[in-house]
Homo-oligomer: A and B are copies of this chain.
């Protein structure tokens, strides 16, 4: 074995052992650990900010964009928010051992379905160093050991945040290797970890499409993937004008750079000549570039023609594709053809139309008269999220504690045989 393979093997074995040891950790112990981490993030803020400054300087030298540098930056305020988030995770009900379902059988057997950790999580992420703490908190709270592989641009920030986590684990008597940070930025290390399907139960890559595709191709264990969010708002003939306008503006403009922002507006043909021009003007006043089909372009100053490629594009920017459809069925056809199964919203007052849309649209979230922006772990009451899954297998949509867990059946008998 190469040195790298040896290193990866040691980390994976330590994680597996820690996952087993975590089965005896109590909820109280985990909560004390999270509280300790939160307190240390605040008390050691100066040190953390100083280490973060090294990454920021290196990032400037490497020519990272202003947006990237901002994502990388830690401030005392941001550390306080991070500490608050950690406390919030601590206060969620402990999901380990929760009885999800139970059946009493005629022969007196009580069948219980009990939530248990998946085991070992390999988590790959980029730039934002606060994710290091969030991911560690979510994984250990759910009884999983985690191997963290952060981005090289956050090397110093991740290292000091990891020391906070690790010192806390020791101080509270939790398994030392419950959280491990990969200490090499060698890209080949990821490949080595992906071979360890016997020791790692799931890999979660959070980053661009090329990273996720590479991981999905190489992994020998299940992967929770997060691909594009090409989200649609369908503006039905029966929609309330004010509500539709608010939802379209919010879905597109609230945070255009995130995955649950809308990229395409589908307009029922009856609303085009009615209030579409007013909505278009409002979108344009917010700086949105409109790329319109011929019918929706009519009479809209500055509208550009939309292409098939546009319909299949996640702009992540203040650009909106606009297409007129005959009815909800055509809207659904469009979404099936171009959507990515992330989030779609319908604005309608007509109940059968809403029902048709919600049963026919197969996306992780279908919003009826609400902004696409609500597809989020916090909003859905999951507490926090380690990612959003665009898969259909195991976890779909926002992934909080439960989505990185499995279950087992515990059967209580009194001597039953078959």
Query: Residues of A at under 8 Å CB distance from B?
Result: 20, 23-24, 97, 103, 105, 109, 111, 116, 118-119, 201-202, 222, 240, 242-243, 246-247, 249-250, 254, 336, 358-360, 362-371, 373-375, 379-381, 392-394, 396-397, 406-418
Which of A362, A407, A415 has the most chain B CB atoms closer than 10 A to its own CB?
A: A415
User: Smallest distance from the beta carbon of A406 to chain B beta carbons, Å?
Assistant: 4
Copies assembled: 2
A393 touches B240 (CB 8 A): no
| Max chain B C-beta neighbours (<10 A), residue from A254, A406, A408, A411 | A411
When the two chains form their complex, are residues B418 and A406 in contact, meaning their CB atoms are under 8 A apart?
A: no
CB < 8 Å: which of B250, B364, B381 contacts A111? B381
Q: Are B365's CB and A416's CB within 8 A? A: no
A-B pairs, 9 with minimum CB distance: A370-B413, A250-B417, A243-B415, A394-B394, A392-B406, A222-B393, A365-B409, A103-B381, A369-B413
Contact A240-B359, Cβ < 8 Å, known A379-B109, A380-B409, A409-B364: no
- Give chain B residues whose Cβ lies under 8 Å from the Cβ of A360: 23-24
- Which residues on the B side are within 8 Å of A373 (C-beta)? 417-418
CA distance A375 to B370 in the complex (A): 44
Q: Do the beta carbons of B392 and A393 come within 8 Å of each other?
A: no
Shortest Cβ gap from A15 to chain B (Å): 15
With A336-B20, A393-B394 given, is the CB distance from A109 to B370 under 8 Å? yes
